[in-house]
Amino acid sequence: MIHGASLDGATATNNIAMEHRHGIKTDNTTTPQSPIESDVYTLQDDDPLSLPSERLLPDQSNGKKLSQQNIALIKSSGINLVWILTWYLFATFLSVYNKWMFSEEHYNFQFPLFVSSTHMVVQFTFAGLSLLLVPKIRPTKRPSVKDYILKVFPCALATSLDIGLSNFSLKTITLSFYTMCKSSTLAFVLIFAFLFRLEKPSFKLIGIIFIILIGVLLMVSDETEFEIVGFICVMTASICGGIRWALTEVLLRKESMGLTNPFASIFFLAPAQGIILFILAAPVEGYPTIFRSAFFVSFSEGIHTTGIILAGGCLAFCMIMAEFFLIKRTSVVTLSVCGIFKEVATIFISTLVFGDILTIINSIGLCITLFGIALYNWLKIQRATRQGRKDVHDQELEGMLDNNDENDLNHQHHRHSREPMYSMVAESTPILMVDGAMTNYRDHVDSDSDDNLSINKNHTREQYELR
């Protein structure tokens, strides 16, 4: 009897302990604790050992999550702004550098092809070191010798002509006029996309071509310092740019080429581009003329000139990396919008630094051209969005997208859009503007997932963390 009584006492003690913890009334003598007095509400909402009844109240939990989301969104927006300003900084410095370097009124180094070939060596070196030091960005595939000759080399040739002629034109025309003329590149991109059957001709796209060309005609018609040689060079560069981006899209449709990120793109394209520019510089500029000029008259002067040339290559590489990290953190939408404002900023800075004159007709033509570019980007984004919506169900199963989340909509572009956004900067690497081609790199290297995860819904965040 004593033994049985002790068992009953132990059972009663256990029941009281359970009642005290959970506030469960098992008989008429037990009074549950109120929510305010109970210790269970001191447990953290994210405690994996907490039972549903032990979690924070819904209002408290939602308020806490909302606060965390706002902080993460502000942090992410701040970092994005830093990358945008960094891109603007390097791109503007590069444009001003090129004009200052080749203009007769300034440094007057009259050998742009030689300088461009040297820049390719600098970019190849930095890209090679990046691939060597960061194994994660190394491409798993590489183009065969046949593919390199038949597919990569033509793209490198068009890119070399684009860069070389762009820099050559800056010897005689103003930076603002150069920027306005280069904005016509998109029209030639569409023309060659039609020829290569990359785009289906439509009234909308043909209308965009006419809008851009009308804007260019207005800009050219009222140019105060018109130079026919420089104009021919920059327009030829724009045509080469159209061929270049069209060939780039052909390359990107072949995943076996291994051009999965800008580091790999520069590594494979820069050698061919450097060789082409180096060969072109021989008959056009003449190496005896280059090294007998006043810029290499002495050893110290040669070191000074070499340092200035190498600085331009570093600027070009930094600009490409800033573009890449900007689009990696945001989307092609952000880059395309920022690119339009960058063109305006470049023209504004050229008026301040070099005293370029922009007439009312020039301004109207520029606005028309930029409107055409913006309209094209809007159409591409709309098409990418429609295509992405078809895959929403599969994406939700993967835990990668939520239709009601604006940030996840950016991921929709990243994972399913292969719509190219073209840069007006000649030194930009072709792979950079094609968002879909960067998917593999993003999935393996993106170390900034904390910002993206924080502004997603809880179930999406858990899916990311599991991955």
Distance CA 118, CA 109 (A): 14
Structure token digits, residue 328: 């990696």
The better pLDDT of the pair 234, 64 is held by: 234
Calculate mean pLDDT across residues 411-440. 45
The three-state secondary structure class of 420 is: strand
Q: Which of the listed ranges 4-8, 254-258, 434-438 does the model predict with the highest average pLDDT?
A: 254-258
> Is the predicted pLDDT of residue 302 greater than 70, yes or no?
yes
pLDDT of residue 292: 94
Distance CA 440, CA 328 (A): 11
Q: What is the pLDDT of residues 265-284, one digit of tens each?
A: 889 999 999 999 999 999 99
Paired strand residues for 434: 420
Other CB atoms within 10 A of residue 53 CB: 9
> Is the predicted pLDDT of residue 306 greater than 90, yes or no?
yes
pLDDT of residue 336: 65
pLDDT of residue 398: 61
pTM reported for the whole predicted model = 0.69
> Is the predicted pLDDT of residue 132 greater than 50, yes or no?
yes
**How confident is the prediction for the chain on average, in pLDDT?**
75
Distance CA 313, CA 24 (A): 73
Lowest mean pLDDT among 36-40, 193-197, 231-235, 388-392: 36-40
Amino acid 456 reads: N
Q: What is the pLDDT of residues 377-389, one digit of tens each?
A: 888 778 777 776 7
pLDDT of residue 400: 54
> Is the predicted pLDDT of residue 454 greater than 70, yes or no?
no
> Is the predicted pLDDT of residue 126 greater than 50, yes or no?
yes
Q: Which of the listed ranges 73-77, 84-88, 224-228 does the model predict with the highest average pLDDT?
A: 84-88
Q: What is the pLDDT of residues 247-262, one digit of tens each?
A: 887 777 777 777 777 8
Lowest mean pLDDT among 67-71, 90-94, 133-137: 67-71
Calculate mean pLDDT across residues 151-161. 92
Contact between 122 and 321 under an 8 Å Cβ cutoff? The reply is: no
pLDDT of residue 246: 84
pLDDT of residue 265: 84
> Is the predicted pLDDT of residue 105 greater than 80, yes or no?
yes
pLDDT of residue 15: 53
Calculate mean pLDDT across residues 414-432. 47
CA-atom Rg of the chain in angstroms? 30
> Is the predicted pLDDT of residue 72 greater than 60, yes or no?
yes
Calculate mean pLDDT across residues 30-52. 45
Contact between 299 and 132 under an 8 Å Cβ cutoff? The reply is: no
Amino acid 203 reads: F
